[in-house]
Chains A and B, each alone.
Chain A
Amino acid sequence: MTVAELSAVDMAQANGRYAVELHNTHIYYGSFRAVKDVSLQIERQRITAFIGPSGCGKSTVLRAINRMNDLIPGSRLEGRILFHGKNIYDPDVDPVEVRRRIGMVFQKPNPFPKSIYDNIMFGPRINGWRGTKAQADELVERALRGAAIWDEVKDKLHQPGTALSGGQQQRLCIARALAVQPEVILMDEPCSALDPISTLKIEELMLELRRNYTIIIVTHNMQQASRVSDYTAFFLMDADRAGQLVEYGPTEQIFTSPNDKRTEDYISGRFG
C-alpha cells in the first residue's frame, strides 16, 4: 500500500523532470478547432495552473491529459501527449488505464450517491481490490487523511457523501481520486463552487499533495493561481476562436514580468 508513495518518488528520479508533455496538440470538436498547437511540459511534483478567459480552451487541454474528451462525441486530437514517454493517444493505449494513473477532480463536487466509505472504495474496487476489510479501512482512512477531511468524517463513514457540505464534498472527491493512487491529479476549477474558507482548505491541501503528486489546476481565479502554483500557463482565444497557449513559465515570472503584452493585460485585469 505504500506503493503510491514510493512510486511517485521513484518515478521522479527515474523518469526525469516532466510528468506530462504536450507536443503540438490541436483539439477539435467536430470541425471546430478548440485548441491550436499547444506545447508544454508539466514538471513533476509541482502545481501547474492553467489560466485565461472563458472559452480559451484551458479546460479542454486539461481534459485531454486524461482523455476525458473521448467521452464527447466528435472530439479529436492531433499531436502528442506524452506520459512516461508514451503518447497516450496511440491506438494501443486504453483510456481507462490512462485515467487510473491521471486522476481528476471536477468543477462541481460530484460524490457518488453512496456512503463516504463506498465513495473512497469505488476506485480500488473497480481496479480489482482484493484486500481484507482491515486493509480497506486503512486505505479509506489514508485517503481521507490525505485529503484533510478525516477528522470531519471519521464518525460518519457510512453516511452518504452527498450529505456533506460543498467544501467537504470536494475534499471527499479529492480523497476518492487519491485512493486509486494516481501520479497526476487534474483539477478543473475545483474551488469555483466553494466559499472562501473551503477554497482556502483546498489550496492548503494542494500544497500538501504536491509532495507526492503532480497537480494541474484550471482556475479562473488569478489570486489562486499566484497563491498555489509553481508554474502558470496563460491561454487565450485567437482570431478564429481557437484556444492557444500565450505564455508559460514560473508563476512568479508570469505574474511580475510577463514577456507577452497580452499576458500583462490579462494579469493586470485589463480584460477577461
Chain B
Amino acid sequence: MEQEARVSIERSAVIPAGTINLRGRRRFGERIIETIVFICGAISIFTTTAIVIVLFQEAWLFFGSPEVDLTEFFSTTTWQPETGRFGIWPLMMSTLITSIIALLVAVPLGLGAAIYLSEYASPTARGYLKPILEVLAGVPTVVYGYFALTFVTPVILQGLLGKENVEIYNMLSAGLTMGIMILPLVASMSEDALSAVPRSLREGSYGLGATRLETSVRVVVPAALSGILAAVIVAMSRAVGETMIVALAAGAGPRFTFNPLQAAETMTGHIARISGGDISYASIQYTSIFAIALVLFFMTLLLNLLSGWVVRRFREVYE
C-alpha cells in the first residue's frame, strides 16, 4: 500500500484536474483496533455496573427482611446479627477512627516527603528515593497487617503505653500501620502536584528574595493545593476501604468505642470475617454484609465526588 501511495504521488503532477479520487480507502486495521478498545472500555463499565447491581440486590434483601429496621440500622450502636440487632455505628465508628489515625500519619509525613522530593532533593537523590517510595506502595497489605499485629502493637504501643493499657487488637495500631501504607500514595500524588507547579512561579518567588522554605510553603504548596487535597481524599478512601490490616490488627468483633487502644471491628474487617466463615447464603447475616458494603460504597463514592469538587474549587490557575 505504501508503494502504491508513492507511485500515486509521483503521478499526481500529471493527473488532469477533476480526476483525483478522494474517496476513503477501507482501513481494516483501524476498525479492528477501534472495536477492541471499545470492548475493553465496555467490559470495565459493565463489571462495575454489575457489581453495584448485585450490591443493591442483596442489600435490598437485607433491608426488606422483617428483622431489619432502617432507622434502627442508622441510629443504634449495637451490631449483633445473632440477636438480630443491626446498628451500623460500631462498625462505622471503627472505620472512621482507624482512617483518621491513618490520615494523621500519612498526610504530614507524605506531604513532607513530597516537598522534600520536589523542592529540596537533587535530581540524583530523587532518582533513588522515588522508586523506593513506590516499592513501599507495592508491599502486600497482609504484610502490613502482620507488621501491625506482631510489631507495632506489642513492641511500640505496649512498650510505650504499658501492656495493661493496650489491647492486643486495637484500632491505633491498625490506623498507624495503615498510615504507613497510604503514605507513598499521599507522597507520590502530592509530589506530582508540586512538580506540576511551573518553574516560573518559583523563580518569581526567589527573585523577590524568598528562601527555599518560603517558596515551598507560600508559593508552591498553595499553587498545588487542589492536587494535594485530592491526594488526601484518595488516601482517605483507600484507608476506608482497606481490609487486610484492620482485619488482622484492629479487632474481630464489633464494638462501639471511641478509645483507639481498644479492639473494634471495622466495616471491611467485619465483611471479610463473615464472608470467610461458613454461613448460609440464605441467612440474614450473609445479606447483612452486603448492606455494610453498600454503606461503604456510598462513603467512598462520596469521597471521590468530594475530591472532584475540591480539585475544581481550589484549583489555582497559574497560566
Contact = CB atoms under 8 A, between A and B. Distances in A.
A59 to B, nearest CB: 12
B223 A112 contact: yes
A245 to B, nearest CB: 24
A237 to B, nearest CB: 24
Find the residue from A71, A103, A162, A176 having the highest chain B CB count within 10 A.
A71
Nearest to B219: A112
A68 B209 contact: no
A67 to B, nearest CB: 9
Contact of A122 (B122, B202, B218): B218
A106 B201 contact: no
B205 interface: yes
A99 B122 contact: no
Contacts of B60: none
Q: Which label, helix, strand, loop or mixed, suits the secondary structure of the B interface?
A: helix
Contacts of B222: 112-114
A180 B200 contact: no
Contact of A99 (B207, B219, B223, B316): B207
Contact of B208 (A97, A108, A114, A126): A126
Interface in B179-221: 198, 200-211, 214, 218-219
Contacts of B202: 71
Interface in B100-127: 122-123
Contacts of B204: 106, 110-112, 173, 176
A104 interface: yes
Interface string B300-319: 00000000000000001111
B201 A96 contact: no
B317 A162 contact: yes
A76 to B, nearest CB: 16
Interface in B260-274: none
A202 interface: no
A97 B209 contact: yes
B209 A113 contact: no
A15 interface: no
A180 B209 contact: yes
B207 A66 contact: yes
A106 B203 contact: yes
A96 B209 CA distance: 5
Nearest to B319: A162
A149 to B, nearest CB: 16
A100 B201 contact: no
Interface string A98-131: 0111011110101111100000001101110000
A177 interface: yes
B317 A113 contact: yes
B284 to A, nearest CB: 54
Given A113-B317, A114-B222, A162-B319, A126 B203 contact: no
B204 to A, nearest CB: 4
A73 interface: yes
Nearest to B198: A110
A97 B205 CA distance: 13
A176 B219 CA distance: 14
Given A110-B200, A110-B201, A126-B214, A68 B207 contact: yes
Contacts of B203: 68, 71, 104, 106, 110
Nearest to A119: B204
Nearest to A66: B207
A99 B201 contact: no
B210 A126 contact: yes
A73 B223 CA distance: 23
Contact of A71 (B206, B208, B218, B317): B206
A96 B210 CA distance: 6
Contacts of A106: 200, 203-204, 207
A73 B127 CA distance: 15
Given A106-B200, A112-B223, A162-B319, A99 B218 contact: no
B205 A177 contact: no
A102 to B, nearest CB: 9
A214 B105 CA distance: 50
Contacts of B214: 126
A124 B123 CA distance: 32
Contact of B205 (A73, A105, A122): A122
A33 B315 CA distance: 41
A112 B205 contact: yes
Nearest to B318: A113
A100 B223 CA distance: 22
Interface of A: 66, 68, 71, 73, 96-97, 99-101, 103-106, 108, 110-114, 122-123, 125-127, 160, 162, 173, 176-177, 180
24 contacts: A68-B206, A71-B203, A71-B206, A96-B211, A99-B208, A100-B208, A106-B203, A106-B204, A110-B204, A111-B204, A112-B204, A114-B222, A122-B218, A122-B219, A126-B209, A126-B210, A126-B211, A126-B214, A127-B209, A160-B317, A162-B316, A177-B208, A180-B208, A180-B209
Given A106-B204, A113-B222, A177-B208, 18 more contacts: A71-B203, A96-B211, A101-B209, A108-B200, A110-B198, A110-B204, A111-B204, A112-B222, A113-B201, A113-B223, A113-B318, A122-B205, A122-B210, A123-B209, A126-B208, A126-B214, A162-B319, A180-B208
